[in-house]
Amino acid sequence: MILASFAEIVSIGVVLPFLGVLTAPDKVFAHPRAQPFIQMFGFTQPEQLLLPLTIAFGLAALFSGAMRLLLLWAQTRLSHAIGADLSISIYRRTLYQPYLVHVARNSSEVIAGISGKATGVVFFTLMPILTILTSIVTMASILFALLVIEPVVATAAFAGFGAIYGFVILLTRKRMASNSQRVSVEQNRVIKALQEGLGGIRDVLIDGTQAAHCAIYRKADLSLRRATASIQIIAGSPRYGIEALGMMLIAMLAFMLAGRSTGIASAIPVLGALALGAQRLLPALQQAYSCWTSLRGGQESLADALDLLDQPLPAHADEPLPAPLPYKHGITLENLAFRYLPQGLWVLQGLDLEIPKGSRIGFIGSTGSGKSTLLDIIMGLLPPTAGSLAIDSVAVTEQNHRAWQAHIAHVPQTIFLADTTIAENIAFGVAPDQIDHDRVRQAAQKAQIAETVESWDKQYGTLVGERGVRLSGGQRQRIGIARALYKRADVIVFDEATSALDNDTELAVMQAIESLGDDLTILIVAHRLTTLKNCSRIVELSNGTISRTGAYQEIVERPTQG
């Protein structure tokens, strides 16, 4: 910024002698300040000054342009580097939030904050701040140069232009605040509309609701773009009036200076310097004002991004993964209770349960009975509101829950598959160059999908498509099982993992589960009781409590209590 402002002073300062030697070389040659320069080069005629001053003027212009280009590069790189830090930090802090936080908020707001608003901070906050600072330094240097040349005119012009911009700022500040809020809100709605339309594409196509989803998206997107356009119009509108006023000022000054006794010839260098100064000063003023409107327009988006940046990081975020918690005997739930809100309804109450290591435990119950919540607590995703979860008599707490989760793998009803290869999906979360392919094959064999995968042309390099669209439901579930086995977890949780499958596919997947090692503890939630017939024990939940437990035959023969 300092070098660029110095370059502006040099370029304006060189205009005076350059124009002077073009119009009145004798006066420049006789000027006291030119004598050291004349004597240094041994000039004897006024005309000899033209070439060196032309070269000096050209070099000054090149230097000024080069410094402005360098400044643009530095500002842009710095802004985007800070924006990257901001976006990465928001994403990192979001991933480390407790499961309860993720359950309570809309993912579209987070995605908009990371992808849109963090980027918006670069363009509407960071770059404008740096540009405003640059404009202030540049304007100060230009004003200083103009004050030296023509103090009265420079002061009057700067005060007049500044007053115009100040008036526009006062006139538009409420509108800018309103537009800023609209941009922030509609960014969330646009992402939400996209997620809902594309996420439920099957239903959209079957029901023919494309027009309804397009209408929702159109409303949000149009409002967002109108607010953005309004900000840009307000930012750019004063420029044209100011430029016209600047030309009028130069014309009036030319008229006044032409009336002096020295004539127009002596006024041309001063006019040239003032014109060049105005040509540099007005864009700097406009740039500062435009950046102010960007700051105002991005104020709400900045606030949202900072709220996400303010998410607390847990103590273990910067620590290496802990050693797994000792697990040799079993899992114990003692008088366990849970509710999502301090004053909310109890989802689970008074649960006492022993789960020996290596057992197969099935959970049944009507929708809302608390099955999935119980598994979330066992997996360390939710902390008990009351009571305890213990592993080999060691209570699972916030401090050691990561050590317990090292034992656990989760196979949900809908397996998330990334649009990558079979191998990368089995070793999910592992960098491609660090995947143990022998381990991938072993996991696939135990999950009974190796034979199928190895019959394909690209085998484990086969792309699965977005969300595994190129695979059948049974294949997706078996990849989920292989993923759990790749982790070498000794507690595998199946949360309604087969409920969306047909009977034959479910039978094949259950056979894959039953073939897993006896040292694995397997917890299965299922709607159909027949799915759990090979479990060593079945637990039935009702209204957040354990209504009965027993072997499969006992549960089938004994009617539901209550």
Both 494 and 371 in one domain: the answer is yes
Q: pLDDT value at position 254?
A: 66
Both 305 and 336 in one domain: the answer is no
What does the alpha-carbon distance between residue 507 and residue 497 come to, in Å, rounded to a whole number?
12
- For residue 325, tell me if it sits in a domain: no
- For residue 47, tell me if it sits in a domain: yes
Query: What's the mean pLDDT in 17-27?
Result: 70
Both 487 and 341 in one domain: the answer is yes
Both 347 and 302 in one domain: the answer is no
Winning range, highest mean pLDDT, from 88-92, 438-442, 446-450: 438-442
Q: Kind of pairing, strands 360-364 and 348-356?
A: unpaired
**Site of tokens 């740039």:** 287
Tell me the one-letter amino acid at 322. Answer: P
Residues 512-561 have pLDDT tens digits of: 677 766 778 888 887 777 777 778 888 888 888 888 888 877 777 765 55
- For residue 374, tell me if it sits in a domain: yes
Q: What single string gives the DSSP state of each residue in 192-218?
A: HHHHHHHHTHHHHHHHT-HHHHHHHHH
Residue 204, pLDDT above cutoff 70: no
Both 191 and 287 in one domain: the answer is yes
Q: pLDDT value at position 501?
A: 62
Residue 287, pLDDT above cutoff 80: no
> What's the pLDDT band for 207 if we cut at 50, 70, 90?
low
- For residue 339, tell me if it sits in a domain: yes
Residue where a domain terminates, one of 280, 309, 338:
309
Nearest to 332 by CA among 352, 316, 358, 315: 352
Residues 394-410 have pLDDT tens digits of: 888 888 888 888 888 88
* HSE value, Cβ hemisphere, 13 Å, CA-based, for 54: 7
Both 236 and 285 in one domain: the answer is yes
Q: What single string gives the DSSP state of each residue in 3-33?
A: HHHHHHHHHHHHHHHHHHHHH-HHHHHH-GG
Q: Looking at the chain, how many residues does it have?
A: 562
CA 454 to chain centre: 39
Query: What's the mean pLDDT in 190-213?
Result: 70
Query: What's the mean pLDDT in 458-480?
Result: 77
What is the DSSP code (8-state) at residue 400?
T
Query: What's the mean pLDDT in 487-496?
Result: 82
What does the alpha-carbon distance between residue 376 and residue 53 come to, in Å, rounded to a whole number?
79
- For residue 46, tell me if it sits in a domain: yes
Query: What's the mean pLDDT in 191-214?
Result: 70
Residue where a domain terminates, one of 309, 342, 364:
309
Query: What's the mean pLDDT in 323-346?
Result: 84
> What's the pLDDT band for 203 if we cut at 50, 70, 90?
low
Q: What is the mean pLDDT of the chain?
A: 76
Residues 6+ positions from 500 with CB-CB distance below 8 Å: 413, 414, 473
- For residue 147, tell me if it sits in a domain: yes
> Which of 237-241, 334-338, 369-373, 410-414 is least confident?
237-241
Both 346 and 279 in one domain: the answer is no
Number of separate domains in the chain: 2
Q: What is the pTM of this model?
A: 0.60
**Rg, the chain, Cα only:** 36
Both 380 and 443 in one domain: the answer is yes
What does the alpha-carbon distance between residue 217 and residue 186 come to, in Å, rounded to a whole number?
10
Residues 119-153 have pLDDT tens digits of: 777 777 777 888 878 777 777 777 777 777 667 76
What does the alpha-carbon distance between residue 490 and residue 393 come to, in Å, rounded to a whole number?
18
What does the alpha-carbon distance between residue 109 and residue 117 come to, in Å, rounded to a whole number?
10
What does the alpha-carbon distance between residue 479 and residue 475 come to, in Å, rounded to a whole number?
6
Residue 103, pLDDT above cutoff 70: no
Instruction: Find the CATH number of the domain harbouring 176.
Output: 1.20.1560.10
> Which of 207-221, 399-413, 502-516 is least confident?
502-516
What does the alpha-carbon distance between residue 13 and residue 31 come to, in Å, rounded to a whole number?
15
Query: What's the mean pLDDT in 449-473?
Result: 78
Query: What's the mean pLDDT in 498-524?
Result: 71
Q: pLDDT value at position 562?
A: 42
The SS3 call for residue 439 is helix
Both 287 and 345 in one domain: the answer is no
Residue 264, pLDDT above cutoff 60: no
Query: What's the mean pLDDT in 252-272?
Result: 62
Q: Which helix (H) or strand (E) holds 189?
A: helix 151-199
Q: What single string gives the DSSP state of each residue in 337-380?
A: EE-SSTTS--SEEEEEEEEETT-EEEEE--TTSSHHHHHHHHTT
Residue where a domain terminates, one of 277, 309, 341:
309
Query: What's the mean pLDDT in 294-311?
Result: 74
Both 477 and 551 in one domain: the answer is yes
CA 110 to chain centre: 8
What does the alpha-carbon distance between residue 518 and residue 521 come to, in Å, rounded to a whole number?
8
Query: What's the mean pLDDT in 307-334?
Result: 78
Q: pLDDT value at position 487?
A: 80
Q: Where are the alpha helices (DSSP H) in 393-521?
A: 401-405, 422-426, 437-446, 450-454, 473-486, 503-514
Q: CA torsion sign, 217 to 223 to 229 to 235?
A: negative
> Which of 201-205, 252-256, 264-268, 494-498 is least confident?
264-268
- For residue 320, tell me if it sits in a domain: no
Q: pLDDT value at position 344?
A: 79
What does the alpha-carbon distance between residue 392 and residue 327 come to, in Å, rounded to a whole number?
6
Both 67 and 184 in one domain: the answer is yes
Share in percent of the chain as helix, strand, coil (round to 5): 65, 10, 25
The SS3 call for residue 329 is coil
Both 185 and 238 in one domain: the answer is yes
Tell me the one-letter amino acid at 460. Answer: Y
Q: How many CB atoms lie within 10 A of CB 81?
A: 12
- For residue 293, tell me if it sits in a domain: yes
Domain range for residue 364? 330-557
